[in-house]
Structure 1
């Protein structure tokens, strides 16, 4: 949520400020709140997101998170209060959004409580604020009266030990409103000091200039350490990308070699395919034989893809990048895609068989389906079956026709195998390649750092 004076609403209507958040406008408050209604009793620990949206709706394909904008005439012009999500939220998107919103502000108001002021998260923010040299103010909220002095002194000592003793700090006692009683709003007197401090920063031109100048200077100074860190991260990212892509390439390369060896050895002519071949042509038709061979080839390719995927998983075990940037294994989908590709190969094989039969001098009376089946056996059945099928082809088409047909068939088979394995390899690597991770990112960051250091 962002609250500003009505005259300042135009600053936040467009995408100049926080462009990644869509706007949800709340009507202008025309009535002046009661004097006691100075602020919410929760100390500003709400999440600032539209409550109708999940923090990660943008990841799920829905609308982007919304910034709810309200206007209030009791705020001075030039001051906008931005309530960020909890920096220690259990929702990762909330934590990321909190960091984005905090970094967009010129003044950081860190609100913590008497029970949590020593936690690690607020102190990480305080150290970050010191690193960026931003204008900082802290609020110690919900402090029981009986320990207010003791807690305030201890908190001040911690700030001093961290080199932040010059940071303004305000203490808000624990009141019935804080516990959920009454109106739920703190009395104006409880936050009078903080409000006066913020009003002074908004209305004093010198204070405004100092705050904005510190923000810019701190941001630029932080680039000296952040840019080298980003360049190193970019280099690591590129190395991880190259490493993962090489694993995918190697795994599918080994799968291709294995398929080639098994086809040469006649592994496809097994099971039903072998039974139909032995029964052909008396007990098995050419169509049945070719269908069995097609199914056996598809099964061989499916096993090769599964083995390649298992190879990738084994090589990538323990690599955190692999599970997030490589497409998941999809054995059922792969089987379907491979089946389509192999059936397409069969149709092409039958077409070239028909063409050779028509072109052959002795083609009259030759069954193109039988020629297609014999060609498939000669390509997939290994040495022995190749010889037997070759005799039948030579008898029907002649020696020259057989050589020509086998050459075309080998090219078709090689193209089919290559297409199947390349398509599955590309599918696994597609999410990673979509990131477009190149060495240019590191080079650009180093060049930007060089220019920055020279200009500074």
Structure 2
């Protein structure tokens, strides 16, 4: 393996900003919002968890305390004999052994009493709970102080990384990421398994410090298996790792193997405990590899965040385009004559055709009356109700269609489907939209009546407005807005249709041409605003499920800045 560049003393690291930079990187990685279920997000989240754990559990604490005890994590496949080896190193039973799998349900950390404070303080593996006994709880380590071990070296029996229990596998990976030295244990039956070699390859990529123990191998097969294992290690770029052999034998009642069988491993670890310089070399190798790995892999998280930003933007755009279109469609339907059909048209024609609206304005609009058939008497209130009901149904229909359109758009993406599945009913308008749509129609009618009442309070128009009545004038203005004829004159009015043109003529006679244009414009804008408010609240049902775009952009910027603040470790000058 390539020797790591020298890492400066703690004071120099503070001056260089390395500690601060890596602490900031850890915080930025933890805060990353990988919320959307886009393709590849599970791998992104696993990488986020891996980097965050290694920075928080190992890199930052170790940089702050380069002289702390060496943490040797014993890892390997199921049934490789890890717990028995740990007991044999310590000289007594500290970790449970047996045939039931997984045996190591609670990781066991064994250290000399002199090193208790370092491991109890939470500076290393700060988020893992310490306990003095076996526990079934996740994220827990049993901590044992044992005087038969040596100061300066601690041994941690980790769960199997090929365990059938996912929690055990995750804990094993977290502990390996926090190791100064990984003591990989395998056996004649398991040394060629793919899973452990995947872990070993990743460790080699990080330039981590590794030793390998070939355990539970019969004396007859030991030589051949060891040679094959050594070739495999060389093929995986691990030719210079320490390789130990432990022959197959029967442990005593304490779960401890004969002293001679583990003498090589014990002697090597004891030498490390006595040799501070060698311990530091191991620490620097692993630490350098971890820093390089974490900084490089964090750049992949930048790309992951970019994909989250893009996916959120697309989902947000799907919602915005549908509801903008819905608003435009509603305003078009409310002002292009669509509303002057069916019941609304029938009630309006009855009202106009009855002649009631012209009775007080005979000289001004009599010619329009002659063009209309006489109808049965109809009150303004009947026209009002038909108009309110028609507008209500129009709003309700378009709100339902908008919900269906957003659901179809979101269903075309993995992230969108997940969000739709997370909350029922998103393919329909909200439950209260019917009530709200009716309220909008009625409140708009009242607003229109207020407009004509205010316009009719002018001295010049007061008499004519009183003679017509606020309700009749208000209904007529609603019809003018529905017909979209405000501002048209002469032949254009005739083209727009007799009923709507009659309404405009009536209002012109009362308020004047320009005033009618202004009234219709104000009424139309007021309706547009009310519809916009309703549709925006409908859109919020979807937007509320998306990660905040400002938070996403901020997280991306913070991660980018944190990576930039940590100079490539190999480029740092030696102190």
Q: TM-score, normalised by structure 2?
A: 0.57
Partner of residue 297 from structure 1, selected from 395, 400, 417: 395
- Which secondary structure state, in structure 2, belongs to the residue aligned with residue 387 of structure 1? helix
Q: Find the counterpart in structure 1 of residue 528 from structure 2.
A: 414
How well do the aligned residues superpose, as a CA RMSD in angstroms?
Answer: 4.6
> Partners in 1 of 2:498 and 2:290 — Cα distance?
75
> Partners in 2 of 1:99 and 1:22 — Cα distance?
13
Q: Find the counterpart in structure 1 of residue 104 from structure 2.
A: none
Q: Find the counterpart in structure 1 of residue 186 from structure 2.
A: 112
Q: Single out whichever of 7-16 and 149-158 deviates more from structure 2.
A: 7-16
> Partners in 1 of 2:255 and 2:434 — Cα distance?
68
Q: Find the counterpart in structure 1 of residue 131 from structure 2.
A: 25
- Which secondary structure state, in structure 2, belongs to the residue aligned with residue 16 of structure 1? coil
TM-superposed deviation, 1:85: 4.8
Deviations 1:94-148 (A, max 9, x none): 6555433322211112233444322333222212222322221223444466644
Structure 2 spans left out of the alignment, 5+ residues: 1-106, 352-377, 457-461, 485-495
Mapped contact 2:403–2:427 kept (Cα < 8 A): no
> Partners in 1 of 2:342 and 2:268 — Cα distance?
86
Instruction: Say yes or no: does 1:210 pair with 2:281.
Output: yes
- Figure out how many residues of one structure are paired with residues of the other and give that number: 413
Q: Find the counterpart in structure 2 of residue 197 from structure 1.
A: 268
Mapped contact 1:23–1:67 kept (Cα < 8 A): yes
Partner of residue 8 from structure 1, selected from 109, 115, 119: 115
> Partners in 2 of 1:379 and 1:89 — Cα distance?
72
Mapped contact 1:298–1:338 kept (Cα < 8 A): yes
Q: Find the counterpart in structure 2 of residue 40 from structure 1.
A: none
Instruction: Say yes or no: does 1:436 pair with 2:552.
Output: yes
Q: Find the counterpart in structure 2 of residue 335 from structure 1.
A: 430
Mapped contact 2:109–2:142 kept (Cα < 8 A): yes
> Partners in 1 of 2:162 and 2:340 — Cα distance?
62
Q: Find the counterpart in structure 1 of residue 440 from structure 2.
A: 345
> Partners in 2 of 1:165 and 1:202 — Cα distance?
24
TM-superposed deviation, 1:426: 4.8
Instruction: Say yes or no: does 1:51 pair with 2:136.
Output: yes
> Partners in 2 of 1:95 and 1:277 — Cα distance?
75
Partner of residue 355 from structure 1, selected from 430, 443, 450: 450
TM-superposed deviation, 1:298: 2.0
Q: Find the counterpart in structure 1 of residue 241 from structure 2.
A: 167
- Which secondary structure state, in structure 1, belongs to the residue aligned with residue 533 of structure 2? helix
Instruction: Say yes or no: does 1:394 pair with 2:507.
Output: yes
> Partners in 2 of 1:340 and 1:228 — Cα distance?
50
TM-superposed deviation, 1:305: 3.1
TM-superposed deviation, 1:220: 3.8
Deviations 1:31-53 (A, max 9, x none): xxxxxxxxxxxxxxxxx9x6345
Q: TM-score, normalised by structure 1?
A: 0.69
- Which secondary structure state, in structure 1, belongs to the residue aligned with residue 237 of structure 2? coil
Mapped contact 1:133–1:214 kept (Cα < 8 A): yes
Mapped contact 1:356–1:401 kept (Cα < 8 A): no
> Partners in 2 of 1:15 and 1:266 — Cα distance?
73
Change (3 A) 1:77 1:453: closer
Q: Find the counterpart in structure 1 of residue 142 from structure 2.
A: 69
TM-superposed deviation, 1:164: 1.8
> Partners in 1 of 2:393 and 2:408 — Cα distance?
22
TM-superposed deviation, 1:454: 5.5
- Which secondary structure state, in structure 2, belongs to the residue aligned with residue 137 of structure 1? strand
Alignment of 1:268-307 (within 5 A): 286-287=384-385, 290-291=388-389, 293-307=391-405
Mapped contact 1:247–1:312 kept (Cα < 8 A): yes
Mapped contact 1:106–1:135 kept (Cα < 8 A): yes
Structure 1 spans left out of the alignment, 5+ residues: 28-47, 54-65
Mapped contact 1:379–1:386 kept (Cα < 8 A): no
Alignment of 1:371-382 (within 5 A): 379=481
> Partners in 1 of 2:467 and 2:218 — Cα distance?
105
